[in-house]
Amino acid sequence: MRLSSGRLVAEHNTVKRMVFVLASGIAVGLSYVAVLVGQGARPDLSAATVASIALPALVSGFVMTAYIAWDLRHARAAENEVGELNAQLVRKEIQIDRLSTVDDLTGLNTRYYFDENLDLEFKRAERFGRPLSLLLIELDDTTQLGHPASRLGKNYLLSEIGAILRSSLRAHDIGCRYRGETLAVLLPETDAAGARTVAAKTRSMLGAHEFFGRRFGAAIGLSVSQGIAIAPVPGVESAEQLLEAAEAALVAARTAGYDQVRVYASDVDEGSASERGRLAG
């Protein structure tokens, strides 16, 4: 919200200055008229007497002029202050908006942002008959990594994984921290084959990355389990069902062991998405 009062202050000061300019002009004019009238009507009046008549009006005019100059300086200062406050508000709004859409740890989008866009992208895919894929990625058991993992914890791993994902996603893909150690990637205009390609690329990049690296004198690869769901397909008819299908695929991948990918195939007629899908490796 901007400080709209700044405009009101500026308009008020403008009107006030116009009034004082008019008043000072009138005062100076009256002093001049007083001199002319005094000299014309009463030639016998001394210059001192005429001056005593005109002096108050003349002084008033000068005082008003001086006040206007002072007021102008302070008005500009007030307007500059309002402008700076507005700039600070803009910076705060940008910061707040970023906090609501970007996860500090991974640099990916937040779950809030993901939920908002999942529904929008599903409706768009359904409307235009275009494919939409959802990939869930979960960190496998980090106890296999030994001491470095226990020392720095999973936060470091998640931040590194987030950076890797950000570098590999397309401009219109949406990556987010879904929950805890689980990340989600929404892939518009992507079918099952395309989603498998993304999963394979992710697995390859994570396996090749030197987590902890030279800091511990060791190059450590990392494995993740990945679940994929595709829409629109029979049995996945809403954003919620797409999410359920991806969750089911992720569970199947984890059940199969480390470093596995499973794709949900919704071609069974009964049960919910979490119960009925056939999961292909």
DSSP output for 131-180: -EEEEEEEE--GGGG-HHHHHHHHHHHHHHHHHHHHHHS-TT-EEEEEET
Residue 51's SS3 state is helix
- Token code pair at residue 258: 């480390």
Vertex 191, ends 253 and 110: CA angle to 5°?
65
User: How do strand 182-188 and strand 132-139 relate by DSSP bridges?
Assistant: antiparallel
Question: In 10 A of CB 18, how many CB atoms?
Answer: 11
> What's the pLDDT at 182?
92
> What's the pLDDT at 88?
73
List 186's β-bridge partners, or say none: 134, 174
List 261's β-bridge partners, or say none: 226
> What's the pLDDT at 158?
84
DSSP state of 9: H
> What's the pLDDT at 281?
55
Q: What is the rounded distance in angstroms from the CA atom of residue 274 to the CA atom of residue 253?
A: 14
DSSP state of 232: S
* Contacts for 178 with CB less than 8 Å, ≥ 6 apart: 111, 114, 136, 184
CB 21 within 8 A of CB 27: no
Vertex 58, ends 55 and 61: CA angle to 5°?
150
> What's the pLDDT at 155?
79
If the chain, 281 residues long, is cut into consecutive pieces of 10 residues, what is the mean pLDDT of each piece? Answer: 52 58 61 57 56 61 68 72 73 62 91 92 93 94 54 74 92 93 95 94 86 58 89 87 96 91 63 44 55
Continuous H helices in the chain: 5-41, 47-101, 111-128, 147-168, 192-208, 239-256, 273-276
Q: Determine phi and psi for 253, rounding to 5 degrees.
A: -65, -40
- Token code pair at residue 254: 């984890």
Q: What is the rounded distance in angstroms from the CA atom of residue 173 to the CA atom of residue 189?
A: 9
> What's the pLDDT at 23?
63
> What's the pLDDT at 131?
95
Q: Give the model confidence (pLDDT) of 13-43 as tens digits.
A: 565 656 665 666 666 565 555 555 555 555 6
- Token code pair at residue 202: 């992710």
List 109's β-bridge partners, or say none: 102, 176
> What's the pLDDT at 257?
86
User: How do strand 261-265 and strand 224-231 relate by DSSP bridges?
Assistant: parallel
The helix or strand, by DSSP H or E, that contains position 272, with its residue range, turns out to be none
Dihedral (CA of 67, 70, 74, 77) sign: positive
> What's the pLDDT at 274?
42
> What's the pLDDT at 263?
94
